[in-house]
Amino acid sequence: MLVIVFEFVSWAVLAAIVGGWLAGLLGALVFVFVAATAHICLLAWRSNRLLHWLRKTGLDHTLNWTGVWLEIGQRIQRLLQQREKATADLEQRFQDFLQAIQASPNGVILLDDEGRIEWCNDTGSAHLGLDMQRDHLQHIVHLVRDPVFSKYYAQDTHKAEVVIDGRAATLSKNIKLSVQLHAYGEGRQLLLTRDITSLAQADAMRRDFVANVSHEIRTPLTVMSGFVETMQAIPLEEDERQRYLQMMSVQAERMQSLVADLLTLSQLEGGLPPRVQDRISLPELMGQVQSDAMALSAVLSGQDSEDMSPVHDFKFDPVEDWSMMGARSEILSAVSNLVSNAVRYTPAGGRICARWYCDADDLCFTVTDSGPGIAAEHLPRLSERFYRVDRSRSRETGGTGLGLAISKHVAQRHGGELRIESVVGKGSTFSLVFPISRLSVVG
């Protein structure tokens, strides 16, 4: 600004000197007027050029000006470039913030001071069934029609979270959401949603597990307590006393089996992976499994100890001279559980076949029985802990309800899986399928 004033004054003084020299005082006044008018016109032209550049020209355009106007233009250009860069940085930060919220596993819904939806991420949309194009500025209570949420929203404070059903919940899949409101800004609210379905299922499984264990232990304890009270209160003959003691021994063995299976399952679920360098001789392992199966068949038949002949028709195919890489105790437990289950649930005189074989990709152990078979609706749940198709039948045979769960975990720890096929009235087939890489051929 001082430069422009100085330029104007210089023009006026120069015009006055020239005008006074040519035409005296009047000439000086005329020349000063003409010089002032010319400078104002030049200033107006330069100002108009500056405005045109600000409106039409890009900020990276090179200015071909001189003097103070070049300095003015360059300074304006730098200020605008700095402001544009700051705006771009803010926009990028905003986009990064939105992407971070989108990547969150929790739902985020922004509500205005009237409870209307201003924005939500994809997770929040999926949790509550929202569509931003359709539901923008719709009241949240009108869209989340859950009595628990409506009551929660109407509260004055929202210090705790509440649990509601997710929009995608069905009869077969019960989705649970934890939701909580947080105040921010001037009357606005932040609604956070979190999928706690797996936590709810784990809690339900824990409660079921405790209830099942308590039930399984209570039954033999009740029987044993009854026998103890009877023996304490009533004089018994020696044969009666021995019979009661035998029954108590059976119940004690049942509890010991249950505790042993629980410990085995706990070790499988929380233990280290099996050592891959340990070799298991499959012929030797199957010799032990076959001997135990025949003894169990004789015991379940109720025969006298003097005649321990199995009552099932066993067919154990000869095993090649193979070794398997893994934990022997775990593989023995898994294989024995499948064979003993076949013995327990196959009627006397039924046929039980067991064999090891290989195909292109897998090493397989299969047990096939001629038992009553299992309905299709039970198959997906058979490997759950304590799940039984017929509870009374399984207790009669002495099962703990954990055998298939143990077999499944052993298979998974060795990189395999448990497969079950069954047809009602035609028997069942249980298979342990391992990667062929675990097979080691001896010799």
Q: Summarize pLDDT for 179-189 with one digit per residue, the tens.
A: 999 998 888 99
In this predicted structure, the answer to whether residue 394 has a pLDDT above a threshold of 60 is no
Give pTM, 2 decimals: 0.55
Q: How confident is the model at residue 193 (pLDDT cuts 50, 70, 90)?
A: very high
Q: What is the torsional sign of CA 29, 33, 38, 42? A: positive
pLDDT at res. 171: 47
Better-predicted residue by pLDDT, 419 or 166:
419
Q: If you search the block for the tokens 């891959």, which residue do you land on?
A: 276
Name residue 66's amino acid.
T
Phi, psi of 250 (to 5 degrees): -60, -45
Q: How confident is the model at residue 4 (pLDDT cuts 50, 70, 90)?
A: low
In this predicted structure, the answer to whether residue 307 has a pLDDT above a threshold of 90 is no
Three-state DSSP at 314 gives strand
Name the most confidently modeled range: 16-25, 207-216, 267-276, 348-357. 348-357
pLDDT at res. 217: 76
pLDDT at res. 116: 93
DSSP category for residue 274: P
Q: Summarize pLDDT for 323-347 with one digit per residue, the tens.
A: 999 888 889 989 998 998 899 888 8
CB atoms within 10 A of CB 164: 22
Reported for 144-152, long-range contacts at CB under 8 A and 24+ positions apart, including other chains, are 149/179, 152/179, 152/181
Cβ neighbors of 352 (< 8 A, separation 6 or more) are 293, 312, 313, 314, 315, 339, 342, 343, 346, 367, 368, 369, 370
Q: Summarize pLDDT for 247-264 with one digit per residue, the tens.
A: 788 778 778 877 877 787
Better-predicted residue by pLDDT, 110 or 198:
110
Mean pLDDT of the chain: 80
Burial of 229 by CB count in 10 Å (0-12 exposed, 13-18 middle, 19+ buried)? exposed
Domains and CATH numbers, the chain: 2-100 (no CATH), 104-195 (3.30.450.20), 205-271 (1.10.287.130), 275-443 (3.30.565.10)
Strands (E), 215-329: 279-281, 313-316, 322-325
In this predicted structure, the answer to whether residue 166 has a pLDDT above a threshold of 90 is no
CA 191 to chain centre: 21
- The encoded tokens of residue 26 equal 């009047």
Q: Summarize pLDDT for 197-221 with one digit per residue, the tens.
A: 888 877 777 777 777 777 667 777 8
Q: If you search the block for the tokens 């430069």, which residue do you land on?
A: 3
Give, to the nearest 10 degrees, the angle between helix 403-413 and helix 238-270: 30
